[in-house]
Amino acid sequence: MQKVIEMKPKTIIKWTGNIITILLFLLLMLTLFVVISSEVSGGEPQVFGYQLKTVLSGSMEPEIKTGSIIAVKPGGEMTRFKKGDVISFITEKRVLVTHRIEEVINYGDQVSYRTKGDNNETADPNSVLSNNVIAKYTGFTVPYLGYIANFSKTKLGISLLMFLPGILLIGFSGFTIWTTISQLVRKDDKSSEKSNIEKPI
């Protein structure tokens, strides 16, 4: 017969407290990494050679939802891409766009791409020179996190994301310490009461 292990309420509270503390600490470290990486690179944060880009349009839905964070791989020969690849490039208006290649156009040694957003009815009006391509989309995306990343670039966002996790961590640690002290005080009070009861008259 399998033995059922029952966890006491105090044990559950202790484990829950430890998990929350770890999550708050990881959130603080992640926030510091994103902010510092963005400042050092002068733009989007980078992780192991991959760049994290914010997508705030719905031109590539449903694969890439509005407000998503995507990972792209910069570098390499920008003439290597083929039809169906999703690339990030800079338009003539200096806007970063991530669209799918519809056609590869060769002009002697020059290569350009006809691109289109999956959710758009027509292709982009201008072809993209290979020199204007900056990275290839890896297929990794996190929906809606881009809104937070975009907000983190503002002064208010930096302030909140830098200090809020730390404040929460300190506040929760203080609450945990207060709870522990309260339990010890109650335990001492009970021990004192028991001692007084058992003390002979």
Looking at the annotation, which residues are catalytic?
Answer: 57
Burial classification of residue 170, based on how many CB atoms lie within 10 Å of its CB (0-12 exposed, 13-18 middle, 19 or more buried): exposed
Whole-angstrom Cα distance, residue 188 to residue 175? Answer: 20
Q: CA 144: distance to chain centroid?
A: 10
Cis check for the bond before 62: say yes or no (omega within 30 of 0).
Answer: yes
Computed on alpha carbons and rounded to an integer, the radius of gyration of the chain in Å comes to: 27
Encode 88-127: b = buried (16+ Cβ within 10 Å), e = exposed: bbeeeeeebbbbbbeebeeeeeebbbbbbbeebeeebeeb
Q: Residue 28: count other Cβ atoms within 10 Å of its Cβ.
A: 19
Q: Which residue has the tokens 């009861």?
A: 197
Phi, psi of 195 (to 5 degrees): -65, -40
